[in-house]
């Protein structure tokens, strides 16, 4: 059976009806694929349900383990489904007309399905696994969605609605908290409701809301969003035609009682909560499209691809991202170029100026003591680890075809030179066999070069906080040069070069011993033995603090990072299991600080 055709949108296959027996066979294959997806999604939801139980009993290690393990669920289920199709249906031998019929029956099975968009992506993954990515026709897979999800919802609905000004503010918020059905009691729900009312009215006033419209309402997604040691209520206030998003973090105290920690209501706070530098949420969703639609009202700047990814459906996110990328290529005309900044010894980075992402490939010859497999392992480590708001998430792709005409000659020359093994040039396309795609940020070294004194101080302070946040999460960045960090749109410093990261617990932080004599001190070689994982923090200033302004800011905010004592103390806390919560919001937003006096609210409810 011939399968040596490249994917082409402009050469559709003509489908012919099969006889009754073949149609039954095609229907059975379609059902087997959908059964594989349903098993995957059932386990996906079970993870979120387990997360709720773990939150209720304070099993933080269990939640972290769930978050890591769930990332591999999808590929495992695809492999299982492939195995079944191979054994029961000899899927690799089926002719083209059979695959067209299988797809047609699959679409029929999705008519009343609650996750059709994800099921289509699963079908594509299985199809690619069977037919091999380079040798199938677009007619066999879902290039575009076949089932609309614009107005899809679950039963019961994906969100609940409350009317504070008709049923009473305290009553509606009390009911809202109770509706999530947490098995552990609130420490003081009356206090929390009073604080929510005060903070909410203050937020509306700060946004310039002067009049409450007759249809004023609060809409809240029906299930909690779990991450690390927190559970989040995600919702929005509707006042006329204006949408005001909010998030309410819930936490447990030492006695196992729940309390409301804050009200997050600004656009930046919500954006940070759903940042690409954070671990994926654990959320129990019957109809994920309804959740994404709700979230897009709250975060209009976030793409569906990003939102599906943050909800833990990263394969769906990858599918949508690539569709968006192809759409952008079709409606733009600029060229891919080498990304600005200092070239790395491990990765080569390029970008499309009109698109806010960078493309990173591993070089064939790495000028460090590592190979391609080790670098991929480091990137997977970050994918599985809690990124604590300081490490950028990436999408990993294989066999990415780019139009040759859109690639600058300097970029093509660079790729041919540094990574010929992963490059294929065929007529008018260039195929990159393996690439990481990451949100574009301004390199910190370039930012510092052109920043004002105040901007340098702020960036260096946050750079040190980024290192400390990672260290407390058991990550030693290794190469701490400024070129390996970026500055986000919100001014947050984020690490994005992972080839040298290691666990804090693997390192040996040492002081430099006194030199035995002056000659040894002046020598270019150290007078002391240096082990593989030895780190001497007092040496950091030599390669980080050459600039006068950077030096002054670093020593003002983070002199402890230049001492082995700080690193060893942090390492000891990590080894003892003391991993503090990596809050995605400023601690000044906590109710315990904002409303320490707990004065009674003067609002009428």
Q: Report the C-alpha gap between 321 and 306 in whole angstroms.
A: 8
Q: 126, 78 in Cβ contact below 8 A?
A: yes
Residue 12: other Cβ atoms inside 10 A: 11
- For 85, the enclosing helix (H) or strand (E) is helix 73-89
Look up residue 471 and give its DSSP letter: H
Burial of 486: CB neighbours in 10 Å, binned 0-12, 13-18, 19+: buried
Alpha helices in 186-238 (DSSP H): 189-206
Separation in Å, CA 127 to CA 6, 134, 158: 15, 11, 31
Q: 350, 338 in Cβ contact below 8 A?
A: yes
- At CB < 8 A and 24+ separation, what contacts does 416-423 make? 418/348, 418/363, 418/364, 418/365, 419/348, 419/361, 419/362, 419/363, 419/364, 420/364, 421/364, 422/361, 422/362, 422/364
As a dihedral over the C-alpha atoms of residue 407, residue 411, residue 417, residue 422, rounded to 10 degrees, the angle is: -50
Residue whose pair of structure tokens reads 């699963």 in the numeric block: 122
Beta pairing, strands 508-509 & 534-535: parallel
Q: 220, 158 in Cβ contact below 8 A?
A: no
Beta partners for 226? 231, 282
Is 38 labeled as catalytic in the residue annotation? no
Q: Give the residue among 332, 328, 165, 188 at the shortest CA–CA distance from 238.
A: 165
Beta partners for 258? 186, 252
Q: Report the C-alpha gap between 434 and 359 in whole angstroms.
A: 10
Look up residue 55 and give its DSSP letter: H
393, 457, 462, 469: the active-site residue: 393
Catalytic residues: 393
């Amino acid at each position: 059976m011939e399968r040596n055709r490249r994917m082409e949108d402009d050469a559709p296959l003509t489908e012919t009806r099969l006889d009754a027996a073949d149609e039954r066979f095609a229907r059975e294959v379609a059902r087997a694929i959908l059964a594989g997806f349903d098993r995957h999604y059932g386990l996906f939801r079970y993870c979120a349900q387990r997360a709720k139980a773990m939150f209720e009993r304070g099993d933080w290690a269990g939640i972290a383990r769930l978050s890591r393990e769930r990332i591999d669920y999808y590929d495992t289920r695809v492999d299982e489904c492939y195995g079944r199709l191979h054994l029961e249906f000899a899927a690799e031998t089926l002719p083209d007309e059979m695959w067209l019929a299988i797809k047609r029956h699959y679409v029929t099975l999705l008519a009343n399905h609650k996750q059709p968009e994800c099921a289509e992506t699963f079908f594509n993954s299985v199809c690619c696994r069977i037919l091999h990515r380079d040798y199938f026709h677009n007619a066999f897979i879902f290039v575009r969605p076949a089932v609309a999800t614009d107005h899809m919802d679950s039963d019961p609905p994906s969100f609940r609605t409350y009317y504070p000004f008709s049923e009473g503010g305290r009553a509606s918020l009390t009911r809202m908290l109770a509706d999530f059905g947490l098995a552990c009691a609130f420490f003081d729900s009356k206090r929390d409701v009073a604080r929510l009312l005060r903070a909410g009215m203050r937020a509306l006033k700060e946004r310039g809301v002067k009049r409450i419209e007759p249809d004023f309402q609060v809409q809240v997604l029906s299930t909690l969003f779990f991450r690390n040691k927190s559970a989040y209520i995600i919702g929005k206030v509707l006042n006329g035609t204006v949408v005001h998003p909010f998030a309410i973090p819930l936490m447990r105290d030492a006695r196992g009682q729940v309390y409301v920690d804050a009200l997050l209501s600004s656009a930046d706070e919500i954006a940070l909560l759903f940042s690409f530098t954070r671990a994926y949420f654990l959320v129990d969703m019957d109809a994920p499209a309804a959740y994404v639609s709700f979230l897009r009202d709250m975060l209009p700047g976030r793409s569906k691809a990003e939102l599906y990814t943050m909800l833990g459906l990263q394969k769906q996110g990858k599918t949508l991202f690539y569709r968006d990328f192809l759409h952008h290529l079709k409606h733009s005309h600029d060229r891919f170029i080498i990304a600005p900044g200092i070239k790395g010894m491990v990765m080569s980075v390029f970008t499309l100026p009109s698109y806010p992402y960078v493309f990173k490939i591993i070089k064939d010859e790495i000028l460090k003591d590592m190979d391609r497999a080790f670098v991929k392992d480091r990137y997977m480590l970050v994918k599985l680890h809690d990124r604590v708001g300081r490490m950028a998430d990436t999408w990993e792709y294989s066999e990415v075809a780019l139009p040759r005409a859109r690639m600058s000659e300097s970029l093509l020359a660079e790729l041919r030179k540094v990574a010929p093994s992963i490059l294929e040039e065929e007529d008018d396309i260039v195929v990159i066999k393996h690439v990481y795609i990451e949100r574009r940020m301004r390199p910190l070294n370039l930012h510092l070069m052109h920043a004002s004194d105040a901007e340098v101080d702020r960036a260096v302070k946050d750079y040190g906080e980024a290192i400390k946040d990672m260290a407390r999460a058991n990550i030693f960045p290794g190469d701490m040069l400024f070129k390996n960090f970026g500055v986000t749109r919100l001014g947050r410093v984020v690490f994005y070069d992972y080839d040298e990261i290691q666990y804090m617990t693997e390192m040996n932080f040492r002081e430099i011993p006194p030199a035995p004599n002056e000659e040894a001190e002046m020598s270019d070689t150290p007078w002391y033995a240096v082990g593989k994982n030895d780190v001497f923090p007092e040496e950091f200033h030599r390669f980080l603090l050459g600039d006068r302004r950077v030096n002054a800011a670093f020593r003002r905010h983070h002199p402890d990072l230049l001492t082995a004592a700080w690193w060893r103390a942090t390492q000891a806390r990590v080894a003892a299991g003391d991993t503090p919560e990596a809050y995605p919001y400023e601690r000044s937003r906590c109710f315990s600080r904002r409303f320490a006096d707990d004065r009674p609210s003067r609002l009428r409810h």
